[in-house]
Amino acid sequence: MTDSIIIGAGPGACSAALTLRMRGKSVLMLYAGGGALEKAHQVDNYPGMPAISGRDMLKIMHRQAADAGVEMKKAVVQLVQPGKKKVTVLAGNEIFTCKTLLIATGAPRKIGIPGEESLLGQGVSYCATCDGMFYKGRDVAVIGSFQEAVEDTAFLCDIAAHVSYYPEAKHDMEALDKRARVMEDKVLSLEKNGEKVMLHTEKGSRDYDGVFVLRPAVALSQLVPRLETEKGKIVIDADGVTNIPRIYAAGDVTGLPYQIAKATGEGNRAALKMAKDMDALDEGGKEQ
Ligand SMILES: Cc1cc2nc3c(=O)[nH]c(=O)nc-3n(C[C@H](O)[C@H](O)[C@H](O)COP(=O)(O)OP(=O)(O)OC[C@H]3O[C@@H](n4cnc5c(N)ncnc54)[C@H](O)[C@@H]3O)c2cc1C
């Protein structure tokens, strides 16, 4: 079991990872992509790194983390399940466990199509490799918005009878499996229709046996059920502690200001608390 898992690889995550490593803790960073910093054309307000592009800054942060012994893995985290003795994390088709977990997933955005969340497990899935086999020889739709969705569509094309691909955002679809039918119309909502899922678009409605929603981000309510949020932001105390034991948060995901310095500061503070809590748990374990 890893000491700490961090969801994200932006400034909040990298800062926390370095602090945890310096406290002798093992760290796994699971990240979907570049996050907000990658989009910054030029950053002028971070001490020690004048006039640098966000992309270059992120590269330096990742190199520094790797040099410090942080393990990094590209994977979208779909679900976090806190337990008494460990936290279980589902990412892609892999399961990880840790003693403490930091959420550093960046600015909260409204994610999801009406009907999507209530139909999860009832014809709607976030994981093609986990649930694809349930749809052998059947009709499925993919609502995709990033490279992994394109890759997973090839896997689904091998299993399902027909695959329709609905691009949800602009992304490179060059490698999309030719067997998938690209649907240009925007998906508006999903609805249960007997055994099937009815997909409503601007141009009409169509039934599918299964709908795979493959995005580089997951709504917080879905990622960590029962996590306390306020206006979409995670509620933390001064040490980055959330309402759920062993789970901490830092960076844009806890609210304004959306700034690199705030994210790194919160990441550092949360990591110090995580290390302290893990030491206390280890001591408690020894005494029993
Ligand atoms: C165009 C632009 C310009 C900016 N310019 C500046 C500037 O000049 N100065 C400044 O201080 N700030 C600037 N910012 C803001 C700054 O980039 C953010 O405040 C900072 O990046 C926040 O860091 P973070 O670690 O909280 O989140 P982010 O950097 O957004 O990182 C979030 C991470 O979480 C990952 N993630 C999200 N969901 C999941 C999931 N379910 N599973 C796995 N990984 C997940 C993402 O892939 C990413 O790695 C700018 C932002 C933008 C968009």
What are the tens digits of pLDDT across the range 54-81? 999 999 999 999 999 999 999 999 999 9
Strands 229-230 and 210-214 come out as unpaired
Q: Terminus-to-terminus CA distance in the chain, angstroms?
A: 20
CA distance 92 to 197: 23
Are the C-beta atoms of 157 and 135 separated by less than 8 Å? Answer: no
What does the pLDDT read at residue 285? Answer: 67
Tell me the pTM. Answer: 0.87
Tell me how far CA of residue 89 lies from CA of 92, 94, 138, 175, 220, in angstroms: 10, 8, 30, 29, 14
What does the pLDDT read at residue 108? Answer: 82
CA distance 13 to 264: 8
Which residue segments constitute the domains of the chain, with CATH numbers given? 2-110+218-287 (3.50.50.60), 117-214 (3.50.50.60)
Residues of the chain with pLDDT > 90, as a percent, come to: 83
What does the pLDDT read at residue 286? Answer: 64
Tell me how far CA of residue 28 lies from CA of 2, 47, 55, 71, 277, in angstroms: 7, 27, 21, 5, 18
What does the pLDDT read at residue 253? Answer: 97
Q: In angstroms, how far apart are the furthest CA atoms of the chain?
A: 65
CA distance 234 to 80: 15
Site to substitute for ligand 1 among 19, 37, 218, most atoms within 8 A of C-beta: 37
* DSSP helix/strand/coil, 52: strand
Are the C-beta atoms of 127 and 30 separated by less than 8 Å? Answer: no
Provide the residue count of the chain.
288
What does the pLDDT read at residue 177? Answer: 97
Residue ranges in the chain whose pLDDT is less than 50? none
User: Ligand 1 pocket: which residues have CB below 6 Å?
Assistant: 7-13, 30-33, 35-37, 39-40, 43, 45, 76-77, 104-106, 217-218, 223, 251-253, 258-261, 263
